[in-house]
Copies of this chain bind each other. A is one copy, B any other.
Amino acid sequence: MSIKVAIVEDSTRVRESLAALIGGSDGFRCVGTFPNAEAALAGIPKEWPDVILMDINLPKMSGIECVSKLKVLRPALQIIMVTVYIENEKIFQSMVAGASGYLIKQTPPAEILEAISDVHRGGSPMSSHIARKLVQYVAQVAQVARPAEKMELSPREHEILCLLAKGYQYKEIAESLTISVETVRTHLRNIYEKLHVRSRTEAVVKFLEQKGT
């Protein structure tokens, strides 16, 4: 059973050469070519392909949005984004929309076919350069969720941190506790040190995380 592929690409030349590549290769079958997202949304549901090669930059509706809509209709669709150059933002947007792979247009024919069967097998073909971006993103996001080590705050410090977490300013905290702003500063300085943070925002985030735990 050959893999059914559809192509969404506004450049006629690229579209036809891709179609020729796929149509002329064993194990692949081109079941549709579309010059824009609108045509794709209208035509693809008529004969669902296994894999779609989707240009990112399409006139009017972008390829990314098109992916979103198609994925809603058929989540099992495997989609490879195709573009001329690497755009970090669009990579992420594509991933979020539901695309699985990412190809540069000048990719050699053999690799394009390899990517198609790869994504069909459940992989995510992409250059290692793009993969690096993903790795960095994951590492960054996970940093936030990292468990915060809790530290022994004195009752007074805890009290002040609570007020801080309500968005109070130094002045307001001072008034509310009937102490001077300077004292608030001193406490905050100690709190920051204990929590290993450098700003009220970080302190509040840690505080709320711990509270929720």
Contact = CB atoms under 8 A, between A and B. Distances in A.
Interface stretch (A1-9, A128-136, A181-189): A128-136
Interface range for A? 35 or more
A118 interface: yes
A89 B202 CA distance: 27
Nearest to A122: B132
B131 A202 contact: no
Q: Taking the full assembly, how many copies of this chain does it contain? A: 2
28 contacts: A95-B139, A96-B138, A96-B142, A96-B146, A101-B128, A119-B128, A122-B132, A123-B128, A123-B132, A124-B129, A124-B132, A124-B135, A125-B128, A125-B131, A126-B131, A131-B134, A134-B134, A134-B138, A141-B141, A144-B165, A165-B201, A166-B202, A167-B199, A167-B205, A169-B199, A201-B204, A204-B205, A205-B208
Query: Which 9 residue pairs spanning A and B have beta carbons closest together?
Result: A123-B128, A167-B202, A124-B132, A124-B131, A96-B142, A134-B134, A167-B201, A125-B128, A124-B135
